[in-house]
Structure 1
Amino acid sequence: MSRLRGVAGRDPRAGFKPDGRDCCTSVPQGLLKAARKSGQLNLSGRNLSEVPQCVWRINVDLPEEANQNLSFSATERWWEQTDLTKLIISNNKLQSLTDDLRLLPALTVLDIHDNQLTSLPSAIGELENLQKLNVSHNKLKTLPEEIANLRNLKGLYLQHNELTCISEGFEQLSNLEDLELHVGENQIEMLRAEHLKHLNSILVLDLRDNKLKSVPDEITLLQSLERLDLSNNDISSISIINLIFCSLPYSLGNLHLKFLALEGNPLRTIRREIINKGTQEVLKYLRSKIKDDGPSQSDSVTETAMTLPSESKVNIHAIVTLKILDYSDKQTPLIPDEVFDAVKSNIITSVNFSKNLLCEIPKRIIELKEMVSDVNLSFNKLSFISLELCMLQKLTFLDLRNNVLNSLPEEMESLIRLQVINLSFNRFKILPEVLYRILSLETVLISNNQIGSVDAQKMKTMENLTTLDLQNNDLLHIPPELGNCVHLRTLLLDGNPFRVPRAAILMKGTAAILEYLRDRIPT
């Protein structure tokens, strides 16, 4: 015990006093003791007006039992405590949080909904492991710019606050995936295109009960979006482009939405009976207006869109403003030359040719090799990858899902900046060998193929790889050596015919899977 006290005395954060002080009367010691074992603490509905210091310092200060002359069983060794990873302090009367929040760096979940917070401390940006943040039902008027530092954030809940805009830097939260992004019931008047650019994996966007007067055309970049709630805003008209103030773009009809809510807007250009028929009828109406109201109707339209022989449009606004070359969802087997001609001297960082009938990658994509970083070729009929793609030296994101690929060229090894590749829903039977040699890769998504094996030894060399999705393949055996890939934070194996690890292990998450595999490595 004396040795441990000495350690605490040298820790400037510990604040341990030998008088056994305990200023934390509002939180039972039993709860704190249990939290040190489980890593989870629930203080919901305790009428707290502030967070007790002993909560912030739960992993810093020595616990009360350290002062007592007790013997400890193996299950009561407080010095083997677990870092707090989940903190719930919802349904209280908190008006502020202190910068002591930084003393819980291991937090992955922070739930502080239904309080009276008017602001968040800048220290929240130091919670680099945070994956879910719920600050709904508070009185927030702004968000700290440091929230952009939460690069691992996957779930963000902001509804029912007093926000007037989406904060700068929001677009840097590139890991916002598979979430329910709720910013409803605020005071937001404008949704800017730059907020949407990096949210291409978002499933739900809730903007109800705000003061939006328009929605940018760039909302069609959210190709994974399933639910969009725009009810009870100030959207009054629909236009083919966003030059008319107070507008909803017809191009919204190109999204594959399962739910679209427009009720409660002063819309004048879409009949109420159409809205009442439901989402699919509204989308059908919007798509029909794209065809009916071509860009030749006014000079203002011809300035921002050009008509091609296929009667499809090149979004010049996206090229100039967002640096995106978008020719998606045209169901065309070829990309017209006019599309590449429209780039002219503009800088292009993203290319979206998804949802077409391409059997090969356009050769003219090589013209963008010095600038493009994101390429989306999903939902086509590609059976091979051309060498032109392998010459895009700045490529960091590549989406090839839903094609008919069964191999990748060795020349892809030259893509030394590639971080994310999506190969799901293709015809791969093995993990392509070239992927093991692209050491910059951080995310490999290759679910719903026919993969029968992976090389764990080669994968161990991929030290930047944090996410590997192998769901719904033909894996009969998971090599125990895969457990040595400790850099993996997300390993998805569901839907394969192997017998071990069992489903119960898979449900515990990546860390448990890797530990299970490591324990079975032959010695």
Structure 2
Amino acid sequence: MEKICQFFRNNYVLANCEDAIYKKAFSLNLSHYQISQVPDIIEKCETLMKLFLNQNKLTKIPSSIGSLMRLQVLTLDYNKLDEFPLCICRLVRLKFLNISCNSISCLPPEIGYLTLLETFWCNNTGLLELPTEIRNCEHLETLGVRGNPLQKLPDAIGALSSLRWLTAEGCELSDVPLTMALLGNLVHLNLKGNRLRRLPRMLMAMQKLRFVFLNENRIDELPTRSQLEELRTLHMLNLSKNPISLHRDLQLMALRQTNLYVELPSDPADISDGLTSRASLNTQEQQEDQARGAGQDMDSSDWANSVRTSELDTTDESTLENNIEDLSVMLPEMSRFVTTF
């Protein structure tokens, strides 16, 4: 019965590809079909700008996908890939790429060819390191490498001047490079569940940083008052579930002099139990003002939250035909109806 179901699924996928070719479609959704291979006919879908292949059983991607030169969005998360498909690096217009939840332990240097990439999700892949060439992805705004055995981030990450959202939660980082101080546009930094022992020094230099998650690390001292004064632009600093020093009372008195919301362990006895509470260092009215301010500055009120990998659903139910962003695809067709006088 399973073979019969798979036969019909494969044929349905093939029919969708043929329909996309005939209609010169801009978006093709082949996600959740449990297919083990992409139809070869995909290379004829030359007008595609969005291709969704997530939640399948793909073990490899045909090199012909590299010929889809208009492609801007590609999702490959939740498949069975065991290496990064090199053909992707030929998609020089790509803006969004999700390869999360595969078995991809390394990224090729050619990742640097994707200079227009804005969002890159590489969560839970077993990634061991980020290549230095990531510096060439100068338009990158969102980078997710959560749940990987990364022991360090490359110094080259400081070259990502457009980066606004960085999550490296659940890795094995014991330190972060000082070059991160160059990330002048970073708003959200999630380093939860690593091996950090102290507050990263570079935080003081990041003027647009608003939300920092350092909970579940090995930090044993609270920031000093002078350090917090340098963090005046922060809205939230999460230090819960850390082995915070017992000199909390004196330090909290200093913390209350700042306009900052900090989450800490409830008391020393609770640290070993993993219990947390919120130490409110400003009034509720101030917190609400900060939340509104964050929404105005970042065009979203959700900057304080890290999205789970399983919730990264970028599948577009609508087609791009109703919202054309690339007129270069339409012009050749329109030119047939233009009369020259």
When normalised by structure 1's length, the TM-score is: 0.41
Match of 2:31 among 20, 44, 57: 44
CA contact (8 A) 2:131 2:154 kept: no
Give the % identical residues: 25
Residues 102 and 123 in structure 1, CA contact (< 8 A), matched pair in contact too:
yes
Identify the residue that residue 155 of structure 2 maps to in structure 1.
Answer: 193
2:198 is matched with which residue? 237
Partner of 1:27: helix, strand, or coil? helix
Give matches, 1:475-514, under 5 Å: 508-509=324-325, 511=327
Higher RCO, 1 or 2 (CA under 8 Å, sep at least 6)?
2
Cα gap change, 1:250 to 1:133, in 2 (>3 Å) = closer
- The question of 1:29 aligning with 2:15 is answered yes
Change (3 A) 1:136 1:280: same
* Structure-to-structure mapping, 1:247-262, within 5 angstroms: 248-249=200-201, 251-252=203-204, 254-262=206-214
C-alpha distance after superposition, 1:460-485 (max 9, x if no partner) = xxxxxxxxxxxxxxxxxxxxxxxxxx
User: Residue 104 and residue 251 in structure 1: after superposition, are their counterparts in 2 closer, same or farther (change >3 A)?
Assistant: closer
Question: Does the aligned pair in 1 maintain the 2:167–2:191 contact within 8 Å?
Answer: yes
Residue type matched to 1:267 in 2? I
Deviations 1:310-366 (A, max 9, x none): xxxxxxxxxxxxxxxxxxxxxxxxxxxxxxxxxxxxxxxxxxxxxxxxxxxxxxxxx
Give distance in 1, aligned partners of 2:26 and 2:79: 23
The alignment covers a number of residue pairs equal to 239
Relative to 1, partners in 2 of residues 1:102 and 1:250: Cα closer, same or farther, differing over 3 Å?
A: closer
**Structure 1 CA distance for aligned equivalents of residues 135 and 73 of structure 2:** 21
Q: Does 1:209 align with 2:209?
A: no
Residues 91 and 114, structure 1, Cα contact 8 Å, conserved in 2? yes
Aligned counterparts of 1:214 and 1:101: Cα–Cα separation in 2: 38
Q: Cα gap change, 1:36/1:223 in structure 2, threshold over 3 Å: closer, same or farther? A: farther
Counterparts of 1:313-332 in structure 2 under 5 Å? Answer: none
Structure 1: segments with no counterpart, 5+ residues = 1-23, 60-81, 239-247, 290-505
SS at match of 2:204: helix
Aligned counterparts of 1:212 and 1:159: Cα–Cα separation in 2: 15
- In 2, the alpha carbon distance for the partners of 1:281 and 1:90 equals 33
- Structure 1 residues 164 and 84: CA distance shift in structure 2, 3 A: same
1:265 to 217, 234, 245: 217
Partner of 1:303: none
Q: Structure 1: which 4+ aligned runs deviate by more than 6 Å?
A: none
Amino acid at match of 1:262: L
SS of corresponding position for 2:132: coil
Task: Provide the secondary structure at the position in 1 that maps to 2:37.
Answer: coil
Whether contact under 8 Å (1:232, 1:263) holds in the other structure is yes
Give the Å deviation of 1:266: 0.7
Q: Distance in 2 between matches of 1:90 and 1:185?
A: 19
Paired AA for residue 166 in structure 1 = L
Q: Using the alignment, how far apart are the partners of 1:157 and 1:165 within structure 2?
A: 14
For residues 36 and 258 of structure 1, the distance between their equivalents in structure 2, rounded to whole angstroms, comes to 48
1:95 matched residue in structure 2: 59
Alpha carbons of structure 1 residues 164 and 30: separation in structure 2 relative to 1, 3 Å: closer
Supply the distance in 1 between the matched residues of 2:177 and 2:153 (Cα, whole angstroms): 7
> Structure 2 stretches of 5 or more lacking a match?
1-9, 229-233, 239-250, 256-321
Q: Which secondary structure does the structure 2 equivalent of 1:54 belong to?
A: helix
The match for 1:141 is 105
Residue identity in the other structure for 2:102: N
| Alignment correspondent of 1:9 | none
Cα gap change, 1:509 to 1:26, in 2 (>3 Å): closer
How far is the alpha carbon of 1:252 from its aligned partner?
3.4
Letter in 1 for 2:44: I
Other-structure match for 1:116: 80
1:196 counterpart SS class: helix
